[in-house]
Amino acid sequence: MNLIPKNVNKKVNPIELNSSQEEIDLSRPELYINRELSLLAFHHRVLAQAKDQSMPLLERLRFLCIASTNLDEFFELRVAGLKQKVVAGSVQTGPDNLFPQEILNRISIAAHEFVREQYSLLNENFLPALEQEGICFFKRDQWSKAQSKWVRDFFE
């Protein structure tokens, strides 16, 4: 049995540009998406998966946890790097023409909304749904004496 396609050695010609097409000015900032803001938008799409009622509860909870971990890492790496640039006095912009401080300002607005949405999902959706399934999270003042002792012994 021959698994190699018959046209494997066929010569392919490069695409020819029509001379009537306009050249694109690649220096225009509106053609570029900021790397950090794009990554934050991706994390928001992960969080959106946690809202998808068509998925099983624990799968949705997993997406909430992934979004949370992603946001932590985003701040540890990307935001920390931007803050270093601001402290160093960098006024260099990327192809998107955004200054580091401007990016930080936009991240702050988006991240505050992101975290508000996370907590809203957790407290208003997940915790009640988990409780209906018999999975409860108790606050320290709700622990029995036996539970308090077990925790104390475990962490000593």
pLDDT of 27: 85
pLDDT of 10: 66
Which has the minimum average pLDDT: 12-21, 35-44, 63-72, 76-85?
A: 12-21
Which has the minimum average pLDDT: 66-70, 89-93, 119-123?
A: 89-93
The answer, yes or no, to whether residue 1 has pLDDT greater than 70, is no
Question: How buried is 92 (Cβ within 10 angstroms: 0-12 exposed, 13-18 middle, 19+ buried)?
Answer: exposed
The answer, yes or no, to whether residue 105 has pLDDT greater than 80, is yes
Place of tokens 């934050």: 40
- Residue 107 CB contacts under 8 Å (≥ 6 apart), including other chains: 36, 37, 40, 79, 82
Question: How buried is 39 (Cβ within 10 angstroms: 0-12 exposed, 13-18 middle, 19+ buried)?
Answer: middle
Q: What is the mean pLDDT of residues 122-144?
A: 95
Which has the minimum average pLDDT: 2-16, 102-116, 131-145?
A: 2-16
Domains of the chain from N-terminus onward: 32-132 (1.20.58.310)
